[in-house]
Every structure is written in structure tokens, then in C-alpha cells.
Amino acid sequence: MRIRDVRAIPVSVPTPPESQVSMGFGRSVKRDAVLVRIRTEDGITGWGESHHGRSPGTIAHLVNAALAPLVTGADAADVTGVNMVLHQAQLTGLGLGTAAAIAMSGIDIALWDIRAQAVGWPLYRLLGGARRAVDAYAGGVALGYQPRGDLVDEVATLRAGGFRAVKLRIGDTPHDDLARVAAVREAHGTDLTILTDANTRYSVADALTVAPVLEEYGVAWLEEPLSRYDVHGYRQVAGASRVPLAAGENHYTRYEFAGLLDGGAVRVPQPDISKVGGLTEALKVAALASAWRLSISPHTAGTGINMAATVHFLAAQDNAGYFEADVSRNAALRTELTSQPYEWRPDGSVLPLDRPGIGVQIDEEFLAAHPLIDAPGFA
């Protein structure tokens, strides 16, 4: 089962003005992703996804120009061997580091898709799991900086659809952030689980101001208040309240996660399988988290490939936390590019697909009709 060819395809979908959301990264003007297609000599096609890294054309070029030649002809079932080759070429030395981890992720996910298809199993079974439900929260590019009444109404719509947990975007100003959280808590009561995400936009002083008040509001976690590099700051903020700190979508490989979790400041690890190095690396991160008795709640973004694979992954973990369900207004990468990536349950949980491999179908006409827009995704 040799790899015949590897191809990365960047895709961009503009977001119309009425659907744009403001958050810590800015105002969303388009959605990007990089799909990775691997075909074997046996005729099996696997699909993976690399995060856009705010530069989808660059990530796709890295896959096509630097990584694909290294793995073409390799045994598609030898995921470990392929990872060793790519780690040595791009992560051990003289490589592109973060960009390489992102690019490698799409290749790795596609290989797992191929392996599961080859044996006729859904991915969760190949990973050692079962078709068990995973709790979900409403996330994605949504619930941003908007008038409190509009935010309360958006949460009401999501709750009517079955969600029992939502993630509010903070990182604006402490005053406005706390006012929005307070409004949602007052309107929806204590039976709603509120998560918050500052998208790295706080200073340590801001985070120390906000954290004790979030504890009063019963917030279940404070995600990425600070830069990924500010380990000392995370430790300071962790001591300011009992609200757990979450982080990891901007950390890469098991090695960075080992440093992130050491010391206990971050209690909710959040690898993104399209960024961390793929499913192979995410499995190692999950094992690390399990050793610290921590649940793992992956970040998701992009297309239905990432989302479907993430649900399979969580269904195979003994320390599965939340699945981040995309409720973005511009959801075409989930609803049009791919088939439905998971089965929704009315109790606010999701089930992995029960078809061989990752289980999603790709609309290649949609893919061809939405080529790369080589411009920033946030204004």
C-alpha cells in the first residue's frame, strides 16, 4: 500500500459582511483551510487537513514542495515511519518548526484515513475506541464582541438547538468582557456551562483582574488569556482564581505540551489535530494529559475533516473532555465542502461517523470553485 501522490489544496470562502464576527484576532472576513489528499497505488484516497496558519498558500506550498517528495513511495500504513522522516527533516533541525507541524498534520490525518479504510473500520475503532458519545460545546467563529442583548439571543438560539455549553469570546476589555459574561449568566442561569476564550489578548494584569470575577460567574475555563510563550504569566494567573486555564491550540508537538502542562498552570490541554502534528502527535499529547489526570478538549477549526477526525479521536480516549462544535455563521467548510462530520444528539453531545475511515465525503466541485484568496482572514 504505497503512497502514489500527495497534494495539498488551499481553499478560501469569503464571509459576507452580515456574517462577520469580531473577536480577539480581529473581524473575520474569510474562512481558510488546507486539504491534503493522499492516493495510494492500491487506489485508496485519504483526506487530511492542515490548519491555514493565517497563510494557507504557504502551508500548501510547504506540503507540496518540501514534504510530499519525502513520503511519496513510502508505505501508507507506516504512519510512525512517515512521521519519523518528517520530524527529522523539518522539526529536529533546519526545518520550519511551527509551519512544518501544521503541514505534517494534514499528511498524518490522511494516512490514518487510508489505514482505517484499508481495514474497513471507522477511525475510532482503529484508534481503539467505540462509538461513544462526546459532550460538545458551541464554538468556532461565533459568540464574539457584540451588544449584550444580541449575544444573549445568540446563546438562546444555540440552547434551543440542544447545546448545554457555549464558549464566549473575551479579550476585548476586562469591563466589556465581564459585562457580556454577566449578561449571559443572568439571562440563562446556572444550568448553562459558560467557557471563555481570550485568544491571547490579555496582559497579565488584565487576566488577574478578570479571573476572580469569572470564578464568581461560575465560568468553567479561561482559555488562552496570554501569549503561548508566557509560561510565567500563566502560573501567575492560575493562582488568582479556581477557574481552570485552557491552552494548546497554538502549541505544537508533544514536546511543547510537556512544557505547557509541567507545573500545573494549564489544566485543560487543547491540541488541534490539524496543527499539533496530526492524530499521531495528538495521541501522544492525550497520553501526557492522562498522566497528569487531565481531560483533553481539542480545538477545532476549518473543515469537516478536522471535526470528524476529532470526534473519532475523542471517542478513543479515556480522558476525553469537550468537542468544540462549529457554530460559525460562515460554515460552508463544514456544511458544503464536506458531508456532515458527526452525528448530533439532542442532549448536546456528538457521535463519530460509523463509515470506514474518517467517513466524510469531499465535494471536489466546491473545492475547485473556492480557490485560495491570498489575503488576511481577519481585518
In this structure, the strands spanning 30-40 and 343-345 are: unpaired
Vertex 222: Cα angle to 215 and 186 (nearest 5): 50
Q: Collect all residues with Cβ–Cβ distance below 8 Å to 118 and sequence separation of at least 6.
A: 1, 42, 44, 76, 77
Write phi, then psi, for 169 (nearest 5 degrees).
-85, 125
Helix or strand run (H / E) with residue 117: helix 98-119
Question: Which residues lie across from 38 on neighbouring strands?
Answer: 6, 46
Q: How far, rounded to the nearest angstrom, does the alpha carbon of residue 201 sit from its chain's CA centroid?
A: 19
Please answer whether residues 261 and 284 qualify as being in contact, where contact means their C-beta atoms are separated by less than 8 angstroms: no
Nearest-angstrom CA–CA distance, 106 and 42:
20
Nearest-angstrom CA–CA distance, 125 and 259:
30
- Would residue 299 show up in a list of annotated catalytic residues for this protein? yes
DSSP code string of 184-208: HHHHH-TTSEEEEE-TT---HHHHH
CA-derived radius of gyration, the chain: 20
Please answer whether residues 54 and 12 qualify as being in contact, where contact means their C-beta atoms are separated by less than 8 angstroms: no
Q: How far, rounded to the nearest angstrom, does the alpha carbon of residue 191 sit from its chain's CA centroid?
A: 26
In this structure, the strands spanning 3-14 and 349-351 are: unpaired
Catalytic-labelled residue, pool 51, 299, 312, 370: 299
Q: Which residues are catalytic?
A: 299
